[in-house]
Structure 1
Amino acid sequence: MHQTTNTILMIRPINFRMNEQTAVNNYYQKVLDNLLPSTVNAKAQQEFDDYVEKLKSFGVNVVVVSDTEEHDTPDSIFPNNWVSFHQDGTVALYPMFAENRRLERREDVLEVLEEKGFVIENIVDYTSAEEEGIFLEGTGSLLLDRINKKAYCALSPRADEDLFIEFCEDFEYTPVVFTANQTVNEKRKAIYHTNVMMCLAETFAVVCLACIDDKKERKNLLKHLKEDGKEVIDITEDQVNNFAGNMLQVRGTDDERFLVMSQAAFNSLTQSQISRINKHCKIISSSLDTIEVCGGGSARCMMAEVFLPKK
């Protein structure tokens, strides 16, 4: 069992823009008023390409599949919400909140992985829940501790508790449930994805404890992390707004571990937080400014981890 992988699936955008359908509960998205849509898309593509090159330069195996013109899928750059890949050859498909995001699910993406020698044994499909207005958006909603078999989930309009429990039963994970909030116009509102305020690595976790208003839930989360021997690195809500929670640990050359984040996330960290992370692994950061502002997602959201077995 591994917590981290060397292979990442990424989808190169061709019609990237702010998605009106997700903006209703993703409070990180903004419109770049003075830029033409084509300019926004070109900037996002440049950031994407630079990011892929940077990952590859550290020995990360990146499988890039291009988005298609067939559908209007402005958020296709965030594939981790519709699919997850598991070590026993299982693929899970997830129900998505925004109707135009459901069009991101593509069989040919799975075929590309099979062509590259990855084995898909079976598919667990939760997408029919969309018909009942129930959602669970992949590893945006679920943070999987694959070694200790625990799944962490911040409930929100995009993360349904019953469906989360069903996932945990199917995949044999212990559920750890809580609510994470952010302040929007002086009101506390649910953060749309768990992976915006928390990152789970092999020997540490980065988490914004201030987002968890319920003391019992906060205590329970800490109890689980500490009993699994993870160092807890606390970040502030302001750092969450700079996507410092949206990080992922990956493996590069010779299985070296790296924590991947955006430049904005890195710039928001204190020297003390950086040195605490560096005790565990090195940091890779890349500028994702346009993608973060318009998409409301960052480095972690762009990577779907591939844990499938090879032929």
Structure 2
Amino acid sequence: MLKQQALLPKNQSTVQNANCVVMVPPKEFAFNAETAKDNEFQHQVAQTTSEVRELAMQEFNTMVAELRQVGVQVVVFDYPAGEIETPDAVFPNNWFSTTANGDLYTFPMACKNRQQEVKVDALVDTLESAGRPVQSQDSLLSYLQQDAHLESTGVMVIDHVNRTIYAALSQRCDREVLEDYAERIGYERVVSFQTALPSGKPIYHTNVMMAIGEGFCVICDEVIPEFERRFVIKSLAKDKQVISISLDQMNKFCGNILQLETVNGEKVIAMSQSAFDAFSPAQKAQLSSHGKLLPFNVQTIENIGGGSVRCMLGEVFLPTRTNPL
């Protein structure tokens, strides 16, 4: 059932786009059998683990270099390895989020081996070194005791300008945790809804079916039940250009894109090469009016990991340090 919640306001910036992102090298990347139980975008391959990691690292390094070249600050979080490998660590946007007030939030993820990715102290140190200090921390990890989950901006697609969170409910997106987070950051509206793939299963992460930019939204609305779909589209269309994508386009990660800003304030839209190729010429023209399109070849990471470019980008809204260390 679609749910809205009125929340208390909080003094929070309403900047839509980050000009800095955290990216995590895929040094332990592999097919994750745990997440594959509800992620239909993952595929097993015949290549060896070392071959897969070499290809994934090439894709990662190229993406980092090209983002930096256009003027997006990239903080590479070369996380400390633990006893349990973290094959999905390349997708850091699922376990943390940041705000323009200097807050860092950490989130309860559904899969045990993904919970090993949460390395708060190391991330705080890395952000500090990059000139993006964390001022305060808050955590929703206690919800793991209730077996309740909220996988950050994987399951929440956020319209910061209108202080509205859109979320497809699933085992990775619990309504109670979702509304708790919205209240903590002072966002007034939560629009949660059901989804169904042809298999009957829900979308595992909202950010594979929709993306919100400053003046546009890309959405695969056909996976939303009709009675909820109309409300969601009406809400988005108030001040966004709504670009509807097909199920086939969603499967090529056209929904898994992210609008960013360069340090000079120019708008760019990061996406995979497969998404770029799947958009129609008319859709590319629409998107180009909102920023320069930046396609990256992440075929290995997409195919095996079941996530794409947006999943690889942990937005950093933390203010830049104004005084030297």
Q: Shorter-chain TM-score: which interval? A: over 0.9
Q: How does 1:171-190 map to 2 (within 5 A)?
A: 171-173=185-187, 174-183=189-198, 187-190=199-202
Aligned pair partner of 1:216 in 219, 222, 227: 227
- The answer on 1:44 being equivalent to 2:56 is yes
Cα-to-partner distance string for 1:93-142 (whole Å, 9 max, x where unaligned): 00001101111111211111122222322212111111221100010011
Please name the residue that 1:167 is paired with.
181
Q: How does 1:133-282 map to 2 (within 5 A)?
A: 133-173=147-187, 174-183=189-198, 187-212=199-224, 214-227=225-238, 229-282=239-292
Separation (CA, whole Å) in 2 of partners of 1:241 and 1:10? 23
Equivalent residue letter for 1:36: T
Count, aligned residues: 305
Equivalent residue letter for 1:32: V
Equivalent residue letter for 2:223: C
Is the CA contact 1:136–1:163 (under 8 Å) kept in the aligned structure 2? Answer: yes
Separation (CA, whole Å) in 2 of partners of 1:168 and 1:5? 19
Give the 3-state SS of the residue equivalent to 2:166 in structure 1. Answer: strand
Equivalent residue letter for 1:290: T
1:253 offset after TM fit, Å? 4.8
Equivalent residue letter for 1:83: F
Is the CA contact 1:208–1:240 (under 8 Å) kept in the aligned structure 2? Answer: yes
Give the 3-state SS of the residue equivalent to 2:310 in structure 1. Answer: coil
Separation (CA, whole Å) in 2 of partners of 1:271 and 1:14? 36
Aligned pair partner of 1:310 in 314, 320, 323: 320
Separation (CA, whole Å) in 1 of partners of 2:300 and 2:56? 6
Equivalent residue letter for 1:114: E
Aligned-pair RMSD on alpha carbons? 1.1
Equivalent residue letter for 1:26: N
* Higher strand content, 1 or 2: 1
Give the 3-state SS of the residue equivalent to 2:71 in structure 1. Answer: coil
Cα-to-partner distance string for 1:126-168 (whole Å, 9 max, x where unaligned): 1111122110001001111111100000001100011111111
Aligned pair partner of 2:127 in 110, 113, 122: 113
Is the CA contact 1:139–1:195 (under 8 Å) kept in the aligned structure 2? Answer: yes
Is the CA contact 1:247–1:299 (under 8 Å) kept in the aligned structure 2? Answer: yes
Separation (CA, whole Å) in 1 of partners of 2:280 and 2:158? 26
Equivalent residue letter for 1:254: N
Equivalent residue letter for 1:216: F
Please name the residue that 1:65 is paired with.
77
Separation (CA, whole Å) in 2 of partners of 1:217 and 1:164? 18
Separation (CA, whole Å) in 2 of partners of 1:72 and 1:254? 38
Is the CA contact 1:261–1:285 (under 8 Å) kept in the aligned structure 2? Answer: yes
Is the CA contact 2:220–2:250 (under 8 Å) kept in the aligned structure 1? Answer: yes
Equivalent residue letter for 1:77: V
Q: How does 1:280-291 map to 2 (within 5 A)?
A: 280-291=290-301
Give the 3-state SS of the residue equivalent to 1:12 in structure 2. Answer: coil
Is the CA contact 2:124–2:133 (under 8 Å) kept in the aligned structure 1? Answer: no
Please name the residue that 2:98 is paired with.
85
Give the 3-state SS of the residue equivalent to 2:134 in structure 1. Answer: coil
- The answer on 1:23 being equivalent to 2:36 is yes
Equivalent residue letter for 2:18: T
Is the CA contact 1:9–1:306 (under 8 Å) kept in the aligned structure 2? Answer: yes
Equivalent residue letter for 2:36: A
Is the CA contact 2:166–2:190 (under 8 Å) kept in the aligned structure 1? Answer: yes
Equivalent residue letter for 1:56: R
TM-score, scaled to structure 1: 0.96
Separation (CA, whole Å) in 2 of partners of 1:181 and 1:286? 28
Separation (CA, whole Å) in 2 of partners of 1:168 and 1:253? 28
Separation (CA, whole Å) in 2 of partners of 1:49 and 1:84? 23
Cα-to-partner distance string for 1:171-220 (whole Å, 9 max, x where unaligned): 1221011112222xxx32101000000000000000011111x2221111
